[in-house]
Structure 1
Amino acid sequence: MTLIRPVASADLPAVAGIYAHYVLTTVATFEEVPPGPAFWQDKADLGLPFLVAEVEGRVAGFAYAGPYRPKPAYRHTLEDTVYLAPGSTGRGLGRALLEALIGACREAGARQLVAVIADSGDPASLRLHVKLGFEEAGRLRGVGFKHGRRLDTVLLQLELG
């Protein structure tokens, strides 16, 4: 059984471990060094939606919303982040997390939700976002460089209300 719930401090080591996998082995994130525990606590302390998918008592994925940009005029626009533990993909967890995150962002008063997705050649994240109503808003070409590859990002946007 899957439980989607708000993150707890006790979940942060698992969240950090999931994210570290993507930092070190993929181009899904442009981070090159896995962030430490203070980074994850800071995200949790923002007061914005931060959820985990718990399967059989273990954190199998997470999703959170953060400020899209730091300038005050962007205050009603959030950016989403979703990651699943290796071996937890293909079970509908990403969809469950993103659906719950969208609802939580609406409840928090956000008007727009933006996704910035690395065009890594794996369309799973892009497909998930489109299935849930996001529309492509643009592409930034060659803005990332990781693991010897130049990478584009695809910008998607969902109007929340």
Structure 2
Amino acid sequence: MPSDDVLVRAATADDLVAVADIYAHYVTTTVITFDEQPPPVSAWRQRLADFTARGLPFLVAEVDGQVAGYTYASPWRPKTAYRYSVEDTIYLAPQWTGRGLGRLLGDALLAECARAGVRQVIAVIADTGSHHATLALHRALGFTEVGRLRGVGHKHGRWVDTLLLQRDLTATPATS
């Protein structure tokens, strides 16, 4: 999808119903998130306010006036020594996968993180052992695998590993 057809912008409160709907799909039908109940829109409002207050990006991809996906950076850990490290999150509405929107959102998120003074971005990716578009996306964004946690999640009747990937924003960007 040409990037001219997509507006990547800061999320607003008006976007949060669509964000909640996108996430609810993945919560209820997949193991790529370990949430077992979709959070209500009020939780998304609080999340947006928290990230905004911290100066962290929360972005949406808008196509034809509709939110097609979102991304945000959240604190990696609560201890203050981790304040320059974040965890990224990228989700697309199911009908918008495979069109390059994840890459547009990821690139925009990394640029905004760098502007916010973030040094390290961590991706925590559920791994069921099959090919995973999220892993391919993060590799294309310059993330490298730094670890695996085996069987740490249990959802929909199965145990799921997580892969840890990291992108150093102080290093020269990787080419893809």
Tell me which interval the TM-score lies in, with the shorter structure as reference length.
Answer: over 0.9
Q: What is the aligned counterpart of 1:41 among 32, 45, 49? A: 45
2:143 aligns with 134
1:89 aligns with 97
Query: CA-to-partner distance for each residue in 1:38-59, whole Å, 9 max, x for gaps?
Result: 2211221122100000011100
Q: Unaligned regions of 5+ residues in structure 2, if any? A: 171-176
Query: CA-to-partner distance for each residue in 1:42-92, whole Å, 9 max, x for gaps?
Result: 221122100000011100000000000111111000000000001100100
| CA displacement at 1:122 relative to structure 2 | 3.9
Query: What is the aligned-residue identity percentage?
Result: 59
Aligned ranges 1:1-161 → 2 under 5 Å = 1-45=5-49, 46-47=51-52, 48-120=56-128, 121-161=130-170
Counterpart AA for 2:113: C
| Distance across 2 between alignment mates of 1:142 and 1:23 | 18
- Cα RMSD (Å): 0.7
| CA displacement at 1:101 relative to structure 2 | 0.2
Counterpart AA for 2:165: L
| Distance across 2 between alignment mates of 1:112 and 1:86 | 28
| Distance across 2 between alignment mates of 1:108 and 1:66 | 12
| Distance across 1 between alignment mates of 2:164 and 2:57 | 20
| Distance across 2 between alignment mates of 1:72 and 1:102 | 21
After TM superposition, the score normalised by the length of structure 1 is 0.98
3-state SS in 1 of match to 2:33:
coil
Q: Unaligned regions of 5+ residues in structure 1, if any? A: none
| Distance across 2 between alignment mates of 1:130 and 1:69 | 23
After TM superposition, the score normalised by the length of structure 2 is 0.90
Q: Structure 1 residue runs of 4+, over 3 Å off?
A: none
3-state SS in 1 of match to 2:69:
strand
Query: CA-to-partner distance for each residue in 1:93-131, whole Å, 9 max, x for gaps?
Result: 000000000000000000000000000324100011011
